[in-house]
Amino acid sequence: MLVTYKKIKFIKYLYSHFPSRLRFGASTYYSFRRMIQRSQYLSENELKAYQLRQLKKNVQHAWANIPGYRKHWEENNFSPDKLKSLDDLKSIPFMTKEILRDKLEKFSYKKLKGLHKITTGGSTGIPFGFYQQRKNGLIELAFMHELWSQFYPKINLKTKATILRGKRMEGPIGYDPLNGLILSSFDLIPQNISQYIQAIEKYKTPILRAYPSSLYVFSTLIENLGLSIKHNFDSIMLGSEILYDFQNNQIQRIFKAPIVNWYGHGEKAVLAGYCRHNTKLHAFPQYGITEIAGQDGKEVQAGETGEIVGTSFWNYATPFIRYKTKDFARKGTENCSECNRHYQLIDEIQGREHEFIVDKNKKLIVLTGVSIVCGTFTEINQFRFYQDAVGTFIFRYVKTPEIKKVNTAFIQKSLFEKIGGNFDIIFQEVNEIERTASGKMMYLEQKLDIKKLLN
């Protein structure tokens, strides 16, 4: 039987009135929140002992059930019996996105309940997919809410937000009875800003969730149009991109609310965010193990820059064990003297940029939300957007060896569904996508002066 949109919305409306603890997955969500709360002030040794226990569990699972990991480790002279202490982590060979992508089925355990496949293009320009259980989303939410609770203590499964994070809809504004007010970051143009403000004033959600780049554009347009917002958010949650000082300053001028920024990625191997006292990123030790490795593969010292390497604790479908993220960061100390948590600090994320492309109407489109559709481009190994003219961009790609001709019509259709059709796309097959000087593989090379287009 066909279920209409109105019926779905009505069901969501009814479900939104359920008590938080009667929601689907509430037991998983609240058990993880309690675990994080109980363990957040453990000593350094206690947290390391916890991490070692969880690491051994994950390694044993991968060794016994996942042929790809077992073969990869045997070829690199590693076996679980060598894991005696947390220092032995370095004897486990690194895992890369390319290895997992090319042999995903061999690196996955699919005899689990509630399994589904996630696709992402990430920030690296490499299409990628992996498996996880549906409960992983609730586990992730528990960690995110514990982070955000430092800034909004009442947060739970019923909390609604104003969301400006790349969702494409039929119009610029939508309302979800379960999640709250949704503002399209694809429609941030002057003629829509008053409507956005009116919607914010109408729903008055306690928190605002956004991409830093999208909220920066929104704040700039509010200021340039001489408008203002009366509603005071309890907190603003910014993630999925670097938050730059110029963005932070602009956003604070308009919204005047506490900001919490975090670092994470779709693979869910590392999650880090602010505490109440400073703007250093605190990596959750209960979420996984965070390393920052230099070019030689060894852990860098505090103050040095290296690649973030993550070991996830909670995905048993496609485990990420010593996974090289291709994101780069400057390492901080191993504890915070202000909040007294023994969490690895990250002083600065250097591997992501806020990235826009500009359509024929000079509208800015943030590419962060495009990454999930790029994960379906299985005929190509890597890609990069290049733009030096308004309304036109080049999509450069490296095809997989077994493909004779890439279906560029499918890629164009998929992109237009996410970013709109006000572009001319030039497809360009290349042999290689060059890295930046620091070894990063950014998926947009933008030559236009974006700041001029905001005025």
Q: In angstroms, rounded to a whole number, what is the distance separating the alpha carbons of residues 394 and 428? A: 7
CA end-to-end distance (rounded Å), the chain: 50
Q: What pLDDT is attached to residue 31?
A: 97
Q: What pLDDT is attached to residue 180?
A: 93
Q: In angstroms, rounded to a whole number, what is the distance separating the alpha carbons of residues 62 and 316? A: 8
Q: What pLDDT is attached to residue 185?
A: 82
With a CB cutoff of 8 Å and minimum separation 6, the contacts of 430 are: 396, 397, 398
Residues 28 and 119 in one domain: yes
∠ CA(73), CA(324), CA(236), 5° rounding? 140
Helices (H) and strands (E) in the chain, counts: 12, 20
Blockwise average pLDDT, block size 10, the chain, 455 residues: 50 62 83 98 97 98 98 97 96 94 94 90 67 95 96 94 81 88 86 95 96 86 91 93 82 93 92 94 98 93 94 97 91 96 92 69 74 73 87 91 90 88 94 60 77 63
Residues 322 and 344 in one domain: yes
Residues 26 and 122 in one domain: yes
Q: In angstroms, rounded to a whole number, what is the distance separating the alpha carbons of residues 375 and 414? A: 11
Residues 207 and 280 in one domain: no
Residue 9 lies in a domain: no
Element (H or E) spanning 55, and its range? helix 44-65
Q: What pLDDT is attached to residue 353?
A: 41
Domain membership of residue 164 as a residue range: 152-257
Strand 180-183 and strand 173-176: pairing? Answer: antiparallel
User: Is 432 exposed, middle or buried, given 0-12, 13-18 or 19+ CB atoms closer than 10 A?
Assistant: exposed
SS3 content of the chain, % helix, strand, coil (to 5): 35, 25, 40
Q: In angstroms, rounded to a whole number, what is the distance separating the alpha carbons of residues 211 and 213? A: 5
* Domain stops at, among 320, 349, 378: 349
Q: What pLDDT is attached to residue 354?
A: 43
Residue 235 lies in a domain: yes
Residues 185 and 237 in one domain: yes
Assign residue 403 the CATH number of its domain: 3.30.300.30
* Domain stops at, among 311, 328, 349: 349
